[in-house]
Amino acid sequence: MAFDEKLAERIRKQLAKQKGVVEKQMFGGIAFLLNGNMCVGVHKQEMIVRIDPEETDNALAEKHTRIFDITGKPMRGWILVKPAGLATDATLGKWVRQGVAFASSLPKKKK
């Protein structure tokens, strides 16, 4: 399944100075993991953002967002942001920072 390579490249640029980030193919797209925990990714044309589950409702109240549900099992703490919500580097960066902040709060995964 194809995913938006341009969006992935924009995310790479946002994460360029972040230590501990690796890329992995997941969800038919690409995921960016921080210390083994996913923080953001790309699924088709949308950005996946992993956030504090307690912040799910707040994130979904923002324009151009929806719950991450590609399997029929919606997951709190995981949202998708439509391309219209990622139009500028500032809006993209806001979501990247939110994903990084949450992944940073999690214990590092062992390799």
User: pLDDT tens, 59-108?
Assistant: 999 999 999 998 888 989 999 999 999 999 999 999 999 999 999 999 99
Two structure tokens written together for 91: 């809006």
**pLDDT for the residue numbered 1:** 56
pLDDT, mean of residues 4-11: 97
Residue 55 DSSP class: G
Q: What is the distance, to the nearest Å, from the Cα of residue 15 to the centroid of all Cα atoms in its chain?
A: 11
Residue 83 CA to residue 7 CA, distance in Å, equals: 9
**pLDDT for the residue numbered 110:** 76
Buried b (16+ CB within 10 A) or exposed e, 91-103: bbebbbebbbebb
pTM: 0.93
With bands split at pLDDT 50, 70 and 90, how would you rate the model's confidence at 111? low
**CA separation, residue 98 to residues 1, 2, 72, 77, 110 (Å):** 26, 25, 25, 11, 23
Residue 111 CA to residue 52 CA, distance in Å, equals: 23
**pLDDT for the residue numbered 109:** 87
